[in-house]
Structure 1
């Protein structure tokens, strides 16, 4: 392994160790972020599948981190990251563009901004930026972030052919030694590109290749968000499972019993 990679790995591991041994004064910040009244009750029900504190800790996030959250959607993780980082860190939310030609993107951005405006005591310091490849890729100031996090988004970029550009944008936003954290629906090894695009599941090999092509070094994986009950083969792809339940009442009890998708949790660093 090259010298700069070794140095980067050691730096990342040290940062993670420091985050894992949080001082006692940070405990209250984590508690408020995870259980405060600002959290949407339906979102909190998903904690059992998404393990937010363990996942963020694995990625080295602490209350003093500068974090870019990629395509936050309705703000599931924003509800946790915003109060956690509000006093001592910074949160960039790289959302869809407000003037997108796609109504879903416009409406999602509008609803997200309304959510932030409704509770300024929680969200007033969130910096909302835009990510809409290939035109808009400036998600945060260059080399400013300690961590860039993407939750269940890679399949969208694979489908649209924009994955390479997005991974480069994430690389550029990170400080040297910064962490890219990826949580993604996990396809079986050998799954075709076409199947990944339609099913919503992506292979670990594909994600690692995208990250390494952009310049990242793979550090570690975790089974925090794994689900052995998920066969990954469903009539409506990953959206068959909760929380989407795209088939409605059809075999709903069966899909609820499976729970949310099997997910990879991968950590990469930008070399020093």
Structure 2
């Protein structure tokens, strides 16, 4: 009995040490010099440490970042996963029809080339519905993460296809993490998401229809100042500030949007 307790305590101790080391690595990635000053300034709104902890991302995992944009989260995930894990960046396709997509991909690739010590192990894949939907090898990922993208897929009736693609990429028991601009609870959902805001129930339904099970949600990225009724939708707020100097101080005082933070699991 004493031997069993000793082994149990040793296992708990080793687990605690590993968790502490993993947290230290994540904190180092978040505070690292590879991140731009502009991006670090957004941490107070986007809470990367708490968000990635909520999604239970570990440094030895295979992670897919969906439509990483200019690489706000990639700046954190790439160095964090570089030595022990794997990062797939599912960006726009090189053959994209939209000029915006082509330019976005070019900027992202240029960013990676300028800092090869940070990004040389990132594997670039293409998500360009309906042509390109394999964001990673089927059943290979421990985590798939998407930040403020669902409204873009809804605009072009692509949301269902993308959620299915994310489901296919995950291992059984793997987790999908979603951060998205959150609509008012009782407001009917515009299926094109023209304002950029979505209801939590709508996102949960999209995930469930793809086969996911709801796992939990957090208020990490909530913002009670966000009234969600602006002339240019969510893009009225920072960092976009679509109205430019008009009422700029007002919108800066509100800050970035109120956001849902939800996680789902692919059943085993």
Give the structure-1-normalised TM-score: 0.90
Q: Alpha carbons of 1:103 and 1:169: their partners in 2 closer, same or farther (altered >3 Å)?
A: same
Alignment-derived partner of residue 235 in structure 2: 239
Deviation for aligned residue 1:21? 7.5
The answer for unaligned runs of 5 or more in structure 2 is 1-13
1:1-272 matches, within 5 Å, as 22-194=18-190, 197-272=193-268
Range with bigger deviation, 25-34 or 46-55? 25-34
Per-residue deviation, 1:29: 1.9
Aligned residues: 255
**TM-superposition CA deviations, 1:116-150 (whole Å, max 9, x none):** 01111100000000001111100000000000000
**Greater C-alpha Rg:** 2
Distance 1:56 1:245 in 2: 26
1:96–1:247 distance in 2 versus 1, CA, 3 Å: same
Hey, what's the Cα distance between the residues in 2 that align with 1:21 and 1:150? 29
Following TM superposition, by how much is the alpha carbon of 1:101 offset from its aligned partner in structure 2, in angstroms? 1.4
Structure 1 residues 40-74: Cα deviation after superposition (integer angstroms, max 9, x where no partner): 10000000000001100100101111100000000
| Kept in 2: contact 1:69–1:92 (CA 8 A) | yes
- TM-score of the superposition, structure 2-length normalised? 0.92
CA contact (8 A) 1:20 1:57 kept: no
State the distance in 2 between where 1:87 and 1:32 align: 14
**Secondary structure of 1:43 counterpart:** helix
Q: Distance in 1 between matches of 2:54 and 2:15?
A: 9
**Correspondence for 1:6:** none
